Amino acid sequence: MRRRPEPRLVRSLAITASASPAAPVPPPPPLPASKPPRSAAPFVAVLLRRGRAAAALLLNRRLLAAPAPEACSLLTALPGVRDAVSYNIVLAALCRRGGDLPAALSLLRDMSMEPDPGARPNAISYTTVMRGLCAARRADEAVGLLRTMQARGVRPDVVTYGTLIRGLCDAAEVDGAVELLDEMYESGIEPNVVVYGFLLRGYCKSGRWQDVGKVFEEMSRQGVEPDVSMFTGLIECLCKEGKIGKATKVKDMMVERGLEPNAVTYNVLINSLCKEGSVREAMALKKEMVENGVAPDVVTYNTLIAGLSGVLEMDEAMGLLEEMIQGDVVVEPNVITFSSVLHGLCKIGRMFQAIKVREMMAERGCMCDLVTYNCLIGGFLRVHKVKMVMKLLNELASSGLEPDSFTYSILINGFSKMWDVDRAEKFLCTMRQHGIEPERVHYIPLLAAICQQGMMERATILFNEMDKNCGLDVFAYNTMIHGACISGDKKMVKQLLKDMLDEGLTPDAATYSVLINMFAKLGDLEEAETVLKQMTASGFVPDIAVFDSLIKGYSAEGQINKVLKLVHELRDKNVALDSKIIRTIMNSLMASNEDKRILEGLPDLYLKNYCKATPSSCPRSS
């Protein structure tokens, strides 16, 4: 459709108005045989000859299309044309998110001093600024503006009070909202269902569930019927508090009152069920939704597909995607839909299907975003398809996207797990070259891979670089200590532990576990026992891995009595044992030359579990 040309008069006025007095816009260079530019004054005169109403209408059209700074300049340049609507348009632009509230308040003051009554503030003017203040969490100032409005003889309406009640409820000032509701009654202004809905949400957000019923009682007294939107708001609040059972009962109550839940109502419930992992119940709700004649929308499908992908039920997720495209009612998938499917497929390594889904995206004109690329790169790294990873990185660059911090984290982590530390380190350098400072999440996987390969000199260089760029934490020290333990470098371990304490960092359970494991393997059981005492004194409970290391150490040294002592300690503490430590216990005792009566004294459960795992070695099966 051809755009209607802007009125020449208003266009000329806009050019004149946008010029700043402090820094006038230089005139364009003169063209041959062209007339000199005319001032705006004659145009204003011509515009006003059409009548003020017509002139204001043209101005207001221009203000609606202009950016806020230009609109302000144009409003200031045309005092003989502007009216209250002109002001309100500019106020709305200034009060939008990211706008200029101080400028809006200043403009409202200027408006109140207009000589023409038709250009002075009305209820819309004040309500617009109040809405901006409430959105900025300045509800008290908005209420103060209400008092100014009333003092100047401007009567607030139901929208004004509704705006303030919503702002106060969002700020958890529900009692103030109730006071305004009482003021509405006294002023003869009847609250509508929207106002009651704001109050209901306020009680829910403040955790005052006992007062929710009062809202419905008051509505009944006033003859106001709750609508679907109000019930949906209550359901959403209940779901956010984890009260999904009660939320479902509210949905049933709606139906009993003759109100049919809409797609938004079902989507709220489906989303909450998926978040808590109840995907089966969410799918059942979708079925009920369809049976009740409510068509699932893209939000419904996206929520369910994300939920199914989260629990790796990818066949059902793919089935829903197919239903969207080939069902009776086609629902066009978006990038969120495809990204959720790709996330699940990549997580379980079904990369062939992931490629097919990617091709489906392209066929439907849905462009990959950075989230999609990150997902695919991570998936191909998990299955060690390096060529595909590099191909995706090239595609990403060609599409005009740039890798972000998360992309580099995926790459460094993926190549580190493959022990390709050279390539991982190269990506660490690349991200710095692109102005992204590495964080601990980037350093730690690479540091761990280098340590596991016993390259402690290289690890120390990276460790020091990490210290310089983003600081060290307990996890970084644990990684280095573990590496030093693998290398059997007790001196380095003790130095790292000292440095860690000097920096004010407290060893955690992982630190103690690594140290005990090292000393036990080296046969330094006295040192291992000392660390164990320090661990328990610090309030940490040794895990199965600690006991496994100690039992192996004592067994290697032939200290069977200490093995038995640890076994009974495990029993007394009701520690749940896995098959690995049961096998360690039994093998340690079986390898000894002690009489088999020792085995008879063990907890019966250990022997039963051991016999299940290794029936041929079970002492009671012989």
Instruction: Give the pLDDT confidence of 389-431 residue by residue, as tens digits.
Output: 999 999 998 888 999 999 999 999 999 999 999 999 999 999 9
Say what the pLDDT of residue 529 is: 84
Place of tokens 């209408």: 57
What's the whole-number mean pLDDT along residues 560-564? 78
Q: Which of 577, 546, 622 is nearest to 602 (CA)?
A: 577
Say what the pLDDT of residue 216 is: 87
Whether 475 shows a pLDDT value over 70: the answer reads: yes
Whether 497 shows a pLDDT value over 60: the answer reads: yes
Residue 547 Cα to chain centre, angstroms: 40
Say what the pLDDT of residue 22 is: 39
What's the whole-number mean pLDDT along residues 474-498? 89
What pLDDT digit, counting tens, does each position of 286-313 carry?
Answer: 999 999 999 999 999 999 999 999 999 9
Residue 378 Cα to chain centre, angstroms: 20
Say what the pLDDT of residue 210 is: 83
Residue 37 Cα to chain centre, angstroms: 54
Say what the pLDDT of residue 16 is: 45
Say what the pLDDT of residue 128 is: 94
What pLDDT digit, counting tens, does each position of 71-90 carry?
Answer: 888 888 878 788 899 999 99
> For residue 280, what pLDDT band results from cuts at 50, 70 and 90?
very high
What's the whole-number mean pLDDT along residues 215-224? 87
What percent of the chain clears pLDDT 70, i.e. is strictly above it? 85
What's the whole-number mean pLDDT along residues 567-593? 70
8 Å CB contact between 75 and 90: yes
Whether 375 shows a pLDDT value over 90: the answer reads: yes
Provide the mean pLDDT of the chain: 83
Whether 5 shows a pLDDT value over 50: the answer reads: no
Q: At 233, phi and psi to the nearest 5?
A: -60, -40
Domain edges within the chain: 1-25+39-121, 472-542, 546-622
Say what the pLDDT of residue 606 is: 52
What pLDDT digit, counting tens, does each position of 433-458 carry?
Answer: 999 999 999 999 999 999 999 899 99
- Lowest mean pLDDT of 144-148, 379-383, 489-493, 524-528, name the range: 524-528
- Lowest mean pLDDT of 64-78, 115-129, 579-593, name the range: 579-593
Distance CA 475, CA 470 (A): 13
Q: Which of 526, 456, 538 is nearest to 493 (CA)?
A: 456
> For residue 61, what pLDDT band results from cuts at 50, 70 and 90?
confident
Whether 342 shows a pLDDT value over 60: the answer reads: yes
| Token output for 85 | 């609507």
What's the whole-number mean pLDDT along residues 557-577? 75
Whether 19 shows a pLDDT value over 90: the answer reads: no
Say what the pLDDT of residue 507 is: 87
Say what the pLDDT of residue 411 is: 96
Residue with the bigger pLDDT between 460 and 40: it is: 460
What's the whole-number mean pLDDT along residues 271-280? 92
Say what the pLDDT of residue 366 is: 87
What pLDDT digit, counting tens, does each position of 116-165 carry?
Answer: 888 899 999 999 999 999 999 999 999 999 999 999 999 999 999 999 99
Query: From residue 26, how far is each of 37, 75, 178 by CA, in Å?
Result: 12, 22, 57
Torsion of CA 533, 536, 538, 539, to 10 degrees: -170
8 Å CB contact between 103 and 92: no
For residue 222, give the amino acid letter. Q
Whether 43 shows a pLDDT value over 60: the answer reads: no
> For residue 44, what pLDDT band results from cuts at 50, 70 and 90?
low
Residue with the bigger pLDDT between 589 and 424: it is: 424
Residue with the bigger pLDDT between 59 and 33: it is: 59
Give 7: exposed, middle or buried? Use CB within 10 Å, 0-12, 13-18, 19+. Answer: middle
Say what the pLDDT of residue 596 is: 52
Handedness of CA 491, 493, 495, 501 (dihedral sign): negative
What's the whole-number mean pLDDT along residues 351-379? 90
